[in-house]
Structure 1
Amino acid sequence: MIAGLHIAALRSSTRARLVGLVDTDPARAAAASLANGGVRATTDLAEALAWPGVDGAIVCTPNGSHGAIAMAVAAAGKHLMIEKPLATSTAEATAVVDAFRERGLVLATAHTHRVYDYSMAVKAALDSGQVGEPQVIRATLLGGWIWGDWNAWVLDPARSGGHQLHNGVHLLDLVTWWMGATPDSVYARGRRQTATELPIYDYLEMVLRFPGDRVAVCEMSRAHRPSTTGHRDVLVIGTEGTVALPWDAEPSLVFGEQGVTALPPVSGSAFTRQLDAWLDGTPVAGGAEGLAAVAMAEAAEQSMASGQPVELTS
Structure 2
Amino acid sequence: MADTVVWGLIGASTIAREWMVDSIRKHPSGKVKAIVSSDLDRAKAFASDKAIAASYASVESMLADPEITAVYISTTNERHVPDALAAIEAGKHVLCEKPLALEIADAQKIVDAAQDKGVVLATNHHLRNMESHRAIKSLIDQGAIGNVNSIRVFHAGELPDSLKTWRLHDKAAGGGVIYDITVHNGDLLRFYLGANPIRIAAIAATSGAGPKRIEDSVMSVWEFPGDILVQCHDSFVVGHGPRGVEVHGSKGSILGIDVMSQAPGGRVILRTKDGDREIPLELKVTYDRGISDFIAAIQNSGKPSSSGDDGVWSLKLAKAVAESAATGRTISIEQT
**TM-score normalised to structure 2 length:** 0.87
Q: Tell me the SS of whatever aligns to 1:224.
A: coil
Q: Which has the higher mean CA deviation after the structures are superposed, 259-268 or 142-151? A: 142-151
- Amino acid aligned to 1:285: S
Q: Is the 8 A contact 1:155 1:199 kept in 2?
A: no
Identity of aligned residues (%): 27
CA distance in 2, matches of 1:125, 1:36: 39
**Equivalent residue in structure 1 for 2:251, among 224, 229, 240:** 240
Unpaired runs of at least 5, structure 1: none
Contact 1:139 1:234 in 2 (8 A): yes
Q: Secondary structure at the match of 1:144?
A: coil
The yes-or-no answer on 1:305 pairing with 2:326 is yes
Deviation at 1:150, TM superposition (A): 6.9
Residues 112-151 of structure 1 aligned to structure 2 (within 5 Å)? 112-148=126-162
Aligned twin of 2:20: 6
Q: Does 1:68 align with 2:68?
A: no
Q: Does the residue aligned with 1:215 lie in a helix, a strand or coil? A: strand
- How far the C-alpha of 1:260 sits from its partner, in A, is 2.9
Instruction: Letter of the 2:307 partner, please give it.
Output: G
TM-score, reference length from structure 1: 0.93
Please say if residues 132 and 266 of structure 2, whose CA atoms lie closer than 8 Å, have aligned partners that are also in contact: no
Match of 1:294 in 2: 315
Asked if the contact 1:154/1:166 (under 8 Å) is kept, the reply is no
For structure 1, which segment, 151-160 or 180-189, has the greater mean C-alpha deviation from structure 2 after superposition? 151-160
For structure 2, the residue ranges without an aligned partner over 5 or more in a row are 1-13, 260-264, 298-302
In structure 1, what is the equivalent of residue 220 of structure 2? 206
Distance 2:154 2:167 in 1: 24
Distance 1:254 1:212 in 2: 22
Alignment of 1:223 onto 2:240: no
RMSD: 1.9
1:24 alignment partner, SS class? coil
**Corresponding residue number in structure 1 for 2:3:** none
Q: Is 2:33 the partner of 1:19? A: yes
List per-residue Cα deviations over 1:68-101 (Å, max 9, x = no partner): 1111111111111011111111111111111112
Query: CA contact under 8 A between 2:25 and 2:31: conserved in structure 1?
Result: yes
Q: 1:196 and 1:244 mapped to 2: Cα distance?
A: 32
In the alignment, which residue of structure 2 is the partner of 1:275? 291
| Number of the residue aligned with 2:10 | none
Q: 2:50 aligns with which of 36, 39, 42?
A: 36
Cα distance between partner residues in 1 of 2:77 and 2:23: 22
Q: CA deviation at 1:146?
A: 2.3
- Displacement of 1:264 after TM fit? 1.9
Q: Is the 8 A contact 1:93 1:291 kept in 2?
A: yes
Q: Secondary structure at the match of 1:57?
A: strand
Aligned AA for 2:285?
A: S
Alignment of 1:42-121 (within 5 A): 42-121=56-135
Paired positions, count:
311
Q: Is the 8 A contact 1:147 1:154 kept in 2?
A: no
Query: Aligned pair in 2 of structure 1 residues 213, 308: CA closer, same or farther (>3 Å)?
Result: same
SS at match of 1:93: helix
1:293 and 1:273 mapped to 2: Cα distance? 20
Contact 2:33 2:52 in 1 (8 A): no
Q: Decide whether aligned partners of structure 1 residues 240 and 169 sit closer, same or farther in structure 2, where only a CA change above 3 A counts.
A: same
* SS of match in other structure, 1:284: coil
Question: Which stretch of structure 1 is more off in the superposition, 36-45 or 199-208?
Answer: 36-45
| Cα distance change of structure 1 residues 75 and 278 upon mapping to structure 2, 3 Å threshold | same
Stretch deviating more after TM superposition (152-161 or 137-146): 152-161
Contact 2:168 2:216 in 1 (8 A): no
Which residue of 184, 192, 214 corresponds with 1:170?
Answer: 184
2:243 is paired with a residue whose SS is: strand
